[in-house]
């Protein structure tokens, strides 16, 4: 996944705060950037206002949050992983994306303070990652599964 075009496409995330996380089935979503209100278009909250970020990152791939030492703090296999990540993000605000790098078969978001969020596409669903701007008519960036490796170092 050391695809330079993906790193380039995700470049607008640099300098933005990651401020919320949640889950919908096996999908992890992250809210990044300035918060704004939109009207929900689907689901049980349809028609109601909800707070979203300038960008949303949807993940359907292995991921983990690591301490500056490299120790894993939370990963996709942790019970209640999305809620644990959300609590961690809220406790570490502002949690800015300092850097974004593509390494062999995974993407690393370096957060303020040296923590890293590793995104590791693996064989499985055709869609592994989606970047969108909620409430805006901009195209979504969709990244398909990688068949090279399912490891998340």
DSSP string, 28-89: EEEEESS-EEEE--SSTTTTSEEEE-SEEEEE-S-EEEE-TTS-EEEETTSTTHHHHHHHHH
Tokens of 16: 């933005």
- The answer to whether the CB of 112 falls within 8 A of the CB of 96 is yes
pLDDT for residue 90 is more than 80: yes
Please say if the pLDDT value at position 19 is more than 80. yes
CA distance 144 to 140: 13
Mean pLDDT computed over 26-39: 94
- 108-139 pLDDT, tens digit per residue, is 999 989 999 999 876 555 788 899 999 899 99
Residue 148 has pLDDT above 50, yes or no: no
What is the pLDDT, as a whole number, of residue 52? 94
Q: What is the pLDDT of residue 2?
A: 47
Residue with tokens 């644990």: 84
pLDDT in tens, 40-79: 887 788 899 989 999 999 999 899 999 999 999 999 999 9
Question: What is the model's pTM?
Answer: 0.86
Domain layout of the chain by residue ranges: 4-144
């Amino acid at each position: 996944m050391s695809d330079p075009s993906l790193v380039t496409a995700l470049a607008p995330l640099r300098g933005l705060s990651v401020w919320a996380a949640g889950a919908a089935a096996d999908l992890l979503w992250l809210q990044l950037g300035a918060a704004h209100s939109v009207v929900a278009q689907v689901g049980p909250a349809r028609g109601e206002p909800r707070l979203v970020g300038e960008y949303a990152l949807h993940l359907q791939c292995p991921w983990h949050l690591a301490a500056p030492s490299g120790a894993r703090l939370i990963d996709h296999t942790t019970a209640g992983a999305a809620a644990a990540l959300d609590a961690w993000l809220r406790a570490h605000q502002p949690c800015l994306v300092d850097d974004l790098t593509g390494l062999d078969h995974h993407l690393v978001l370096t957060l303020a303070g040296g923590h890293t969020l590793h995104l590791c596409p693996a064989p499985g669903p055709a869609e592994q990652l989606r970047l969108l701007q909620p409430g805006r008519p901009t195209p979504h960036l969709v990244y398909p599964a990688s068949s090279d490796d399912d490891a998340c170092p």
